[in-house]
Structure 1
């Protein structure tokens, strides 16, 4: 993340309330989301940022590294993981476009629950007017206009997110409720929700102060501060394990709140955690400087053993509960924990769609449902891959 990104995000989150006609709040939250990718899709450039926590200033990846970062390996740096072109399993995947209940040239599915039933996304023009949409078993529902920038959905169809003024929210059973911002902090960034209804995020205050926070779907006005000041929570698993950072170190907390640092790949000074599912987590380490910024390199943690793997891919956009890694670079790719891969197909009714027209943003727990978007006819359309 560049220092420009850090400065812009912090300034936008400080500016509550945000007058929508004048500030691109959708970009502010999009820049504060879980990952950093720069890719060109059918001529349209999209930018998202790993928030591990650039958005709250916890991990300053934009500066020059204290020491030169080692060159990433050509294959995954793990004694048990390698990259193979053999099929990961005998699965057939098909892509289909999700229905759009409202108009808008930028319609993207951004997340999926562990079961693959519930999909969440945004539809709009790409300029602060995106509406949150929830698809359940293929049926679309537009959430209330007061809900913006969805972050995640759980197996019950409960959606969480953060509005442009730094207010967290939860949508449950047709009702939208706001999350309490802890006293002493100005805003929150909500990242994840699990099947128990635990919501994980980060509170942010003056002078880039921040702290990991947990809320509950049932009691959104209550909260529990996690870790010490300088901590951040960016993901939560179904059993309540929380991942995030403390200072510049990747961290995990047990469901009882006991925290321990995660390993950092050898030769790298620090790391951030993006998200977690099952016994796996993904994140980033700072690589070499390129074009005035720092190239971010993806890593994967096995939370059972604590092992960390530096990944030989330009990005990692999701992790399944079975360890399947979702890579979205020109064409989506799923990499199993043993290193075998499978490429997600394009839509057969759109022959000759150029490479890079498809993006993938989320994956279910079993790795059989992937969501994202396709760029065609000068528009982005929400997409789902189903594998059987």
Structure 2
């Protein structure tokens, strides 16, 4: 087990609103050269990640207030954790699972489909993902954490679900269009940035969603551009960053690669400090993968000397 140690760095988010951030190691209860924190709940209390060798042998770890718990071996590839510590994911065979109150249970795969991919869970335990079948057939699915063998198909065939808000609004796609569904199941397409005919939605928190649109072709590959939706106003816009790793409930955007960056809706930004001991992100390669709703807790990892180590950044105003 690694004892948490920390360093701090102060950076300005906006005039008159300094934010101090501190990077700390997360303890590693099992051995593995690939140890990464992948997600954090909206409150910042629960963190979920994987530790292994990178050869499909990873164990899911749940950190609660910094204390590590290794989930049962049947839990693989965690996707998300909610404010109650409920963890969801998909194992290597395409079976969805939920870990709740110390018990691992598996999600029903709808008849006619051979696998599911679980993406998100909200505070009341609503779980969303996508069932896939023969060819390119797929359908968005909604499960409940306390009734994992019951489900509801969302929208029409060809739909996909990638996120759910606390009130039960689901986001995802229908065909090549970004979509949202109300808690009652009514679906509408999200607006597209000017000049674009299709987009994906990757995550949602509060009244904000993020996704990708195809850009110019470079070197034989299409460059994907990040986009952010304000679900309250309907505004949509392209983002001037190479990618977006997460969105907070307050609209803060997490730019996760290289030297991680948190960008507020007004455009002000702050870079996160480096790992403990060095105080700068110039040493090692950093990934930031998840952000709390207030934008003050970020989780990820640093890669150096062929080893990934999990990190949490705690910030305060």
User: TM-score category by the smaller chain?
Assistant: over 0.9
CA distance in 1: counterparts of 2:279 and 2:213, whole angstroms: 38
- 1:42-81 equivalences under 5 Å are none
- Contact 2:90 2:97 (8 Å CA) reproduced: yes
2:135 match: secondary structure: helix
- Contact 1:331 1:356 (8 Å CA) reproduced: no
Map of 1:92 onto structure 2: 20
Superimposed CA distance per residue, residues 263-317 of structure 1 (whole angstroms, 9 cap, x where no aligned partner):
1111012000000000000000011122332111000000001111100000000
Counterpart among 41, 58, 70 of residue 142 in structure 1 = 70
CA distance in 2: counterparts of 1:355 and 1:294, whole angstroms: 30
Map of 2:166 onto structure 1: 238
- 1:8-157 equivalences under 5 Å are 87-88=13-14, 89-157=17-85
Superimposed CA distance per residue, residues 3-24 of structure 1 (whole angstroms, 9 cap, x where no aligned partner):
xxxxxxxxxxxxxxxxxxxxxx
Counterpart among 348, 369, 372 of residue 300 in structure 2 = 372
In structure 2, runs of 5+ residues without a counterpart are 1-10
CA distance in 1: counterparts of 2:306 and 2:257, whole angstroms: 19
Counterpart among 177, 185, 191 of residue 263 in structure 1 = 191
- Contact 1:359 1:372 (8 Å CA) reproduced: yes
- Contact 1:132 1:148 (8 Å CA) reproduced: yes
- Contact 2:259 2:282 (8 Å CA) reproduced: no
- 1:341-360 equivalences under 5 Å are 341-350=269-278, 354=282, 357-360=285-288
- 1:308-387 equivalences under 5 Å are 308-350=236-278, 354=282, 357-387=285-315
Q: Which has the higher strand share?
A: 2
**Which runs of structure 1 show a deviation greater than 6 angstroms over 4 or more consecutive aligned residues?**
none
- Contact 2:274 2:282 (8 Å CA) reproduced: no
Deviation at 1:95, TM superposition (A): 0.3
Q: Structure 1 residues 214 and 108 mapped into 2: Cα distance closer, same or farther (>3 Å)?
A: same
TM-score normalized by the length of structure 1: 0.77
- Contact 1:170 1:176 (8 Å CA) reproduced: yes
- Contact 1:120 1:153 (8 Å CA) reproduced: yes
Map of 2:234 onto structure 1: 306
CA distance in 2: counterparts of 1:207 and 1:263, whole angstroms: 28
Q: Structure 1 residues 136 and 316 mapped into 2: Cα distance closer, same or farther (>3 Å)?
A: same
Counterpart among 222, 225, 228 of residue 153 in structure 2 = 225
Q: Structure 1 residues 285 and 126 mapped into 2: Cα distance closer, same or farther (>3 Å)?
A: same
CA distance in 1: counterparts of 2:304 and 2:23, whole angstroms: 14
CA distance in 2: counterparts of 1:97 and 1:254, whole angstroms: 39
CA distance in 1: counterparts of 2:71 and 2:264, whole angstroms: 34
TM-score normalized by the length of structure 2: 0.93
CA distance in 2: counterparts of 1:387 and 1:179, whole angstroms: 36
Q: Which has the higher helix share?
A: 1
CA distance in 2: counterparts of 1:324 and 1:351, whole angstroms: 23
In structure 1, runs of 5+ residues without a counterpart are 1-84
More displaced, 233-242 or 340-349? 340-349
Q: Structure 1 residues 220 and 352 mapped into 2: Cα distance closer, same or farther (>3 Å)?
A: closer
Deviation at 1:174, TM superposition (A): 1.2
CA distance in 2: counterparts of 1:351 and 1:340, whole angstroms: 22
